[in-house]
Structures are given as structure tokens and as C-alpha cells.
């Protein structure tokens, strides 16, 4: 008898619960993941790869890893000292 009641209860829950379910549609969001695949340094709206060197006035900048221990981390501009 208990197993029949359990089956009946589960059957009713299966039929009735979807009526109470609410579907929420969220908008698509583009976070620009294409640029995340390429490690680059940015300057003046242009992308430069690892090892690139720029002269800005009298200063030279090199595109280097932000953290020396990471092999696939962010890049940054570092001033080249004389």
C-alpha cells in the first residue's frame, strides 16, 4: 500500500510541478572572449605580442609577462632601463 501511495505521489508531483516552474530568459552577453585567447600588450588601440619593444618619447617599453612564474598569464609594458 505504501509503495502505491509513493508512486501516486511521485506521479502527481511529476505532472503538477512543471505547472509551477517559471522559465526565466536572460539576455545574451558578449564579453569579448576572442581577445582572451591572445596574450597581448595594448598601446594606442593596437595589440602587440610578447617581446615587442616600443619607443615612447625617450622611453623604451617591452611587452613582458606580468608575473614571471606564469607561462600563460597577462602581459604588461615594462620600461627598459639603460
DSSP string, 32-59: -GGGGSS--EEETTEEE-TT-EEEETTE
Grid coordinates given for 64: 613582458
Question: Rounded distance, CA 79 to CA 40, Å?
Answer: 16
* Dihedral sign (CA 52, 54, 60, 64): negative
Grouped pLDDT means (10 residues each) for the chain, 82 residues? 68 61 67 64 91 92 88 89 79
Which of 8, 72, 74 is closest to 42 using CA atoms?
Answer: 74
What pTM does this model have?
Answer: 0.53
Cell of 82: 639603460
What pLDDT is recorded for position 79? Answer: 93
Amino acid at each position: 500500500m505504501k509503495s502505491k501511495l509513493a508512486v501516486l505521489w511521485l506521479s502527481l508531483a511529476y505532472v503538477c510541478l512543471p505547472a509551477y516552474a517559471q522559465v526565466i530568459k536572460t539576455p545574451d552577453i558578449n564579453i569579448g572572449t576572442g581577445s582572451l585567447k591572445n596574450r597581448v600588450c595594448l598601446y594606442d588601440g593596437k595589440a602587440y605580442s610578447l617581446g615587442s619593444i616600443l619607443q615612447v618619447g625617450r622611453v623604451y617599453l617591452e611587452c613582458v609577462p606580468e608575473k614571471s612564474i606564469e607561462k600563460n598569464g597577462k602581459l604588461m609594458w615594462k620600461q627598459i632601463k639603460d
